[in-house]
Structure 1
């Protein structure tokens, strides 16, 4: 299925590892997802102390939430990746996992270092918006 979103790039901007914007055509359904957290089915936090491991679990949970809405990673039009750290290397560890998961569908994304996230031992969270044909 062809995505109802068009990723926006500009030769006038830095060559970033993500699109700078996404245009969603009219007549589509938008799916607003809660932040995907690194939680196991029993509610425990996965990969305690491991930024990349938690990012991978977040991507896994995001993928399942998308599936439940009838969507996939290819339908995502934007993400926000939250990382509980002040170290750029920690943000980079989480980002590398997310960027690899999206592959060539490099949606507009914001990567943020934050002081704390909601669950015990949580280091990473991924918010996303997806678009589906109506």
Structure 2
């Protein structure tokens, strides 16, 4: 039986140590990226009121986390897009399509009541499989 190594990646979010989670975890060829919120470099909600811009930021943060795990966007097999208002799904979908249009991972949209910060309109998760 193969024993895979575990690698964790931080994005510097102030919530990571408080909650006890990593932005991404790689175990063998599998990478899981946590629910990624639109948190700017200052630790605060970015692009308040703009679902598209928040979605792009989430995807950019996910892209960096994947790179830090030795993965690429092309390795993504699934994304999950969580929205506080499903009426805005097309704006989040536009951002998803710009990044993943040619890759076409499995994707789920779901509406949630709210996030930790009420200024977050979207969170995005991703899973990837990397060739070893």
TM-score range, shorter chain: 0.7 to 0.9
- Report the CA distance between 1:112 and its aligned residue: 1.1
Q: Distance in 2 between matches of 1:86 and 1:94?
A: 10
- Residue equivalent to 1:111: 109
Structure 1 runs not aligned, ≥5 long: 1-27
Report the secondary structure of 2:82's partner residue. strand
RMSD across aligned C-alpha pairs, in angstroms?
1.2
- Report the CA distance between 1:120 and its aligned residue: 3.8
- Report the CA distance between 1:96 and its aligned residue: 1.2
Report the secondary structure of 2:81's partner residue. strand
Q: Distance in 1 between matches of 2:47 and 2:100?
A: 21
Q: How many pairs does the alignment contain?
A: 105
Q: Which of the pair has the greater relative contact order for Cα pairs under 8 Å at 6+ separation? A: 1
Q: Verify the 8 A CA contact 2:86 2:110 in the aligned structure 1.
A: no
1:81 corresponds to 2:81: yes
Structure 2 runs not aligned, ≥5 long: 1-27
User: TM-score, normalized by length of structure 2?
Assistant: 0.75
Q: Distance in 1 between matches of 2:45 and 2:119?
A: 7
Runs of 4+ with >3 A deviation: none
Q: 1:43-77 deviations in whole A, cap 9, x for unaligned?
A: 11110000001001111111111111111110101
The structure with more helix, counted as a fraction of residues: 2
- Report the CA distance between 1:99 and its aligned residue: 1.5
Q: Verify the 8 A CA contact 1:47 1:53 in the aligned structure 2.
A: yes
Q: Verify the 8 A CA contact 1:91 1:113 in the aligned structure 2.
A: no
Residues 41 and 93 of structure 1: CA distance in aligned 2, closer, same or farther (over 3 Å): same
- Residue equivalent to 2:69: 69
Report the secondary structure of 1:133's partner residue. coil
Q: Distance in 2 between matches of 1:120 and 1:61?
A: 19
